[in-house]
């Protein structure tokens, strides 16, 4: 009889344990965030093509390396400042960024006369921001009309360059 009682007691314990077995589990976690340095851009030099003799017209290509190349019947005259548009990009060290250049053609005017600025290029190679920022330069092509009238030509409005983190 003791054996039967022990067996019944044993089966009761197994049945009760299975009724109260664990049906769920809990784990804990934490949350964190890192606020990075905002990206910024500052103009350090405006684009300047310097002095040009228009002659029968053509194009002056200003490279991001401040080199002028002519196409057509134009002569690069002495004097003036040659400068690609130059910018300092600041932000989180080690982060890469994208750059959006002006699109299409933009008018430079002097009185009733105008020329077109187009085909913007940059020296930005996709590398990351260093501790002290990243200098980028932008060049473009200036379309000079035949016998373009003398004058100081300027864009009618500011051109925009936009940078953003990738």
Taking the C-alpha atoms of residue 154 and residue 148, their distance in angstroms, rounded to an integer, is: 14
The pair of structure tokens assigned to 30 is 């934490």
Indicate whether 18 belongs to any domain: no
Indicate whether 112 belongs to any domain: yes
Indicate whether 136 belongs to any domain: yes
Express each pLDDT in 54-102 by its tens digit.
999 999 999 999 999 999 999 999 999 999 999 999 999 999 999 999 9
0.95 surpassed by pTM: no
Instruction: Report the DSSP beta bridge partners of residue 115.
Output: 108
Taking the C-alpha atoms of residue 144 and residue 147, their distance in angstroms, rounded to an integer, is: 9
Q: How far is CA 103 from the centre of its chain?
A: 14
Indicate whether 17 belongs to any domain: no
Indicate whether 61 belongs to any domain: yes
Band of residue 19 on the pLDDT scale cut at 50, 70, 90:
low
| Strand-pair category, 52-62 with 68-76 | antiparallel
Indicate whether 31 belongs to any domain: no
Indicate whether 5 belongs to any domain: no
What is the extent of the structural domain holding 72? 40-165
Cβ–Cβ under 8 Å, residues 126 and 96: yes
Indicate whether 64 belongs to any domain: yes
- When divided into structural domains, the chain yields a total of 1
């Amino acid at each position: 009889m003791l054996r039967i009682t022990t067996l019944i007691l044993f089966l009761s314990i197994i049945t009760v344990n299975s009724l109260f077995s664990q049906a769920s589990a809990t784990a804990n976690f934490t949350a964190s965030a890192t606020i990075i340095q905002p990206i910024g851009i500052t103009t350090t030099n405006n684009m300047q093509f310097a002095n040009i003799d228009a002659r029968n017209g053509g194009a002056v290509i200003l490279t991001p390396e401040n080199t002028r190349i002519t196409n057509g019947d134009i002569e690069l005259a002495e004097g003036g400042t040659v400068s690609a548009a130059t910018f300092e990009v600041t932000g989180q060290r080690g982060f890469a960024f994208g750059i959006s250049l002006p699109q299409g053609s933009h008018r430079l005017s002097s009185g009733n006369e105008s020329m077109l600025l187009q085909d913007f290029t940059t020296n930005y190679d996709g590398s990351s921001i260093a501790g002290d920022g990243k200098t980028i330069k932008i060049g473009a092509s200036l379309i000079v009309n035949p016998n373009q009238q003398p004058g100081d030509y300027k864009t009618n409005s500011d051109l925009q360059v936009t940078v953003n983190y990738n």
